[in-house]
Amino acid sequence: PFSPEKAMVCFGSMFVELPKAKTREMLRQDQEELDEEINNLRKELRVKVNRLYEAQGKPELKGFNLNPMSAEEMKLINRILEG
């Protein structure tokens, strides 16, 4: 007997039934935190790679400081390519 207004969510090894709106908000918030952490790690990696190249006496990598396109930018590019 599952309720259409509720979703089963797994926390560790336990399933809990929560309202879908609450579940959606929790997932959105988790995704925002993960995206922020990924971006911070990318920034740190760029600095570390540049330091490594500098220590080895190599020139800085070209194009390494590029940022990925956002989902909105990708949609616009796809519209342009489709005609």
Q: What is the pTM of this model?
A: 0.61
Instruction: In whole angstroms, give the CA distance from residue 45 to residue 40.
Output: 9
**pLDDT band at 73; cut points 50, 70, 90:** very high
End-to-end C-alpha distance for the chain, whole angstroms: 48
Q: How far is CA 19 from CA 5, 23, 69, in A?
A: 6, 6, 34
Is the alpha carbon torsion for 33, 36, 42, 44 positive or negative?
negative
Residue 22, CA distances (Å) to 6, 16, 35, 76 in order: 9, 12, 20, 31
* Cross-strand bridge partners of residue 15: 10
Domain ranges of the chain: 1-62
Interval 25-51 mean pLDDT? 92
pLDDT of the residue at 31? 96
Percentage with pLDDT > 70 across the chain: 98
